[in-house]
Amino acid sequence: MMSLHDWAESKWLRQHTTSREEIAGLLGIVERDLADAGQGISADWKFGIAYNAALRLCTILLHAEGYRPERTLQHYRTIQALGLILGPDKRADVEYLEVCRKKRNIIEYDAAGTVTDRDATELAAFVVELRDRVLAWLREHHAELLES
């Protein structure tokens, strides 16, 4: 299995220095998106908003480890990094988010109404659990990036 360092050597990632303020800003987006995803809007938008929150959580992991993805395949690599950072036991989470990424691309670029309220609710619940895991990981590995 490749590492984040290997990805950087392949020019898929570049070095990035994050800050407490940047992580707080990204966590603020996650909280806003989770709140908005529960509102009376279409299943497509609920799903898209919850997907964005999941992507931000994966971005937080990458930034905390000192990387950011290059433009090509940015969402794909950001999601794949979840397994490299949180461990291979999170493979099912990566696969689930990859399915969500593909669904999000369809509703964003190709066709409306292809996800259900159940899809959106399931993703939002997943994001709440992922947020808790990411926060626990941050506390353990990069506590200096969390606001007191």
d(Cα 85, Cα 61) in Å, to the nearest integer?
A: 7
Give the pLDDT score at 113: 85
Handedness of CA 82, 83, 84, 87 (dihedral sign): positive
Give the pLDDT score at 35: 81
Give the pLDDT score at 110: 84
Sketch the domain layout of the chain as residue ranges.
Answer: 4-145
Give the pLDDT score at 69: 93
The 3-class secondary structure across 87-146, one letter per residue, is CHHHHHHHHHHHHHHHHHHHHHHCCCCCCCHHHHHHHHHHHHHHHHHHHHHHHHHCHHHC
Residues facing residue 67 across a β-bridge: 15
Give the pLDDT score at 133: 97
First to last CA, the chain: 35
Contact present, 69 and 62 (Cβ < 8 Å): yes
One pLDDT digit (tens) per residue for the chain, 148 residues: 789 999 999 999 999 999 999 999 999 888 888 887 776 788 989 999 999 999 999 999 999 999 999 988 999 999 999 999 999 999 999 999 999 999 999 988 888 889 999 999 999 999 999 999 999 999 999 999 998 7
What residue has token string 């966590």?
A: 27
Contact present, 6 and 129 (Cβ < 8 Å): no
